[in-house]
Amino acid sequence: MTHEIIDDLNWRRTTKKFDPTRKVSEEDLNILLEAIRLSPSSINSQPWRFVVIDSQEARERMASTFTSTFEFNKPHVFDATYFILFGYNPRYTREDYAEVVDTQIEDGRLKPEDREKGFRSFFFAEMNTDENGDTSCWTKAQLYIALGNALHTLARLRIDSTPIEGLDTDRVNEEFREELDGYQCDVALAIGYHHADDHNATLPKSRRRMDSILVRI
Ligand SMILES: Cc1cc2nc3c(=O)[nH]c(=O)nc-3n(C[C@H](O)[C@H](O)[C@H](O)COP(=O)(O)O)c2cc1C
């Protein structure tokens, strides 16, 4: 099948080794961040927060969270141009949704006098909140929409990336507690350009066959 979307998606590969001499431009980073911000989410909840690790000091802090289990992901902290923490809100509340409603008023989507109506869809968040106020299953699902959107955007920009769940999440969340501000990070994204020695860059793409994943009725 040939189509530029399919070409983009076939082009992208998870990078196993980044080339530290090639840098993603600030302009491309900003396109990526804007694409992430524009990601859709249930009831427009946007229950996410992103921490871009850029400075040497922040990289060293990130590197310090790795223990032997996920050592294979550690070089990306220094070799990728940016290492981005993806956080979700584990306890999404009406107060969090108020920012969404008020932004909808600011953006001209909702009239100020209809502010209360703007909260009608919040029942969806309540449906996805357990007896302890935990919304993780739901908010984490929203965050992964942003992750998928980021991966596609990067493919279009011909920028390499590695989505990373291989993190010592307790240590990451402790180290970046202040920056994450109550959001939980279970996944990160390294972006940059792959090294000439990256074995994964030339392996054929492999996916389950269409008839194994799809039913048309
Ligand atoms: C949510 C998520 C977490 C992942 N975590 C890691 C990881 O910690 N380290 C790694 O090298 N690859 C990681 N991967 C990459 C997958 O192994 C990879 O996407 C998959 O094998 C398909 O290969 P491709 O991305 O090259 O098409 C992750 C991918 C996703 C989507």
Take atom 7 of ligand 1 and give the residue whose Cα is closest: 164
Take atom 11 of ligand 1 and give the residue whose Cα is closest: 16
Q: How many domains does the chain have?
A: 1
The answer to whether residue 57 sits within a structural domain is yes
* Ligand 1 centroid from CA 135, angstroms: 25
The answer to whether residue 164 sits within a structural domain is yes
CA 211-163-145 angle, to 5 degrees, is 65
From first to last of its 217 residues, what are the pLDDT tens digits of the chain? Answer: 899 999 999 999 999 999 999 999 999 999 999 999 999 999 999 999 999 999 999 999 999 999 999 999 999 999 999 999 999 999 999 999 999 999 999 999 999 999 999 999 999 999 999 999 999 999 999 999 999 999 999 999 999 999 999 999 999 999 999 999 999 999 999 999 999 999 999 999 999 999 999 999 9
* 188 contacts 144 by C-beta, under 8 angstroms: no
Written as one letter, the residue type at 175 is E
| Domain of residue 157, CATH code | 3.40.109.10
The answer to whether residue 102 sits within a structural domain is no
Take atom 9 of ligand 1 and give the residue whose Cα is closest: 164
Written as one letter, the residue type at 64 is S
The answer to whether residue 113 sits within a structural domain is no
Return the closest-CA partner of residue 163 out of 86, 100, 68, 66: 86
Q: Tell whether pTM > 0.85.
A: yes
Return the closest-CA partner of residue 139 out of 95, 180, 78, 183: 183
Does 165 contact ligand 1 (Cβ within 6 A)? yes
The answer to whether residue 108 sits within a structural domain is no
